[in-house]
Every structure is written in structure tokens, then in C-alpha cells.
Amino acid sequence: MKKIDSFCLFVATGFGTGYSPWASGTVGTLPGVAITLLLVPLSLPFQLLIVLALIVGSIPICDRAERLLGTKDDGRIVADEMVTFPLCMLGLTAAPLWMWTIAFLNHRVLDILKPAPARQIQELKGGLGIVADDVVSSLYCLGLNHLIFWTFSHFITR
């Protein structure tokens, strides 16, 4: 196996978390939490730029990993979950731990439910199909997370 193939598999499997025997997508989101923690000190525009770069960069990596593993959207490929958790937290990285926990749960639930049009987008071929449906689900999640945070913050501080 070429080094680039090994690299793609390593990243696409969430640095190995995608090989978890249970709930690989959930375990595979954990490196995304670490990435999001690294974004905390950055301004929102820089966070957005990094998140977009991670998403775009993950598409060819997931595409290559899918070909190497030989299965469409193989369950071991979790880079999509890993790079979209930071998207769910844009503008919320300074939020308290309870919000991070809710955001993590929302991310997983919406990734599993795949609200329209995420489910249809999942049918796209290769890395684009692997990543794009999670991006759509994560945009729903981002809105929901902001609504929850605003609601709780608004009523708790009064």
C-alpha cells in the first residue's frame, strides 16, 4: 500500500476511531471535539475558514478511502463526522460544557436521522456523498444548537 493510501485511511477512519466495534460514527466524532477545542481561541471568521478547509479537504480523502475499502460509505469512514462537529459549534466554542454535550448529541441524532435533503445528498458518489450529507445535517444542527443556547441563556440570565 502506498503511503498516501495509508494516510487517507488513517484520516478517513478518524485516526483509527472508525474501527471501533460499537458506534463508530459516535466514537469517530470524538476527534472532531478535539479539533473544535483547538478552535476555541480563534475568532469566528478563522473558525469558519478552518472548518471549510477541513470539509473540503475531507472529500478527496473519504473518496480514496471508500475506493480502498471497497464499500460505499463504509462505516469505518468517520472523517465526515469528525470534520462536521466543528461546523455544529461555530459561534459556540466558548459555550459552557452543557452546551457542548447537547451539541454532540444533536450532531449524532441529526447525522443518523439525515433530515431532507441530507438523505438524498447521501446518494452522491464517492467522497462528496460521504461528506455532503453530514454537512447538511450539521447545518441543521448548528441552527438548533444556537437556538438552544440562546433560549437557555436568555431565560437562565433573567
Domain that includes residue 7, residue range:
3-156
The rounded distance, in Å, linking the Cα atoms of 83 and 98 is 21
pLDDT at 154: 78
How many domains, in total, are found in the chain?
A: 1
Amino acid of residue 68:
L
Please count the other Cβ atoms lying within 10 Å of the Cβ belonging to residue 73: 17
Q: What is the pLDDT of residues 12-56, one digit of tens each?
A: 999 999 999 988 999 999 999 999 999 999 999 999 999 999 999
C-alpha cell at 156: 437562565
Q: What is the mean pLDDT of residues 74-98?
A: 96
Amino acid of residue 157:
T
Please provide the average confidence, as pLDDT, over all residues in the chain: 95
Q: What is the mean pLDDT of residues 130-155?
A: 95
pLDDT at 62: 98
pLDDT at 112: 94
pLDDT at 122: 87
Q: Tell me, what DSSP letter sits at residue 157?
A: -
Give the pTM: 0.93
Query: In which band, very low, low, confident or very high, does the pLDDT at 158 lie, cut at 50, 70 and 90?
Result: low
pLDDT at 157: 60
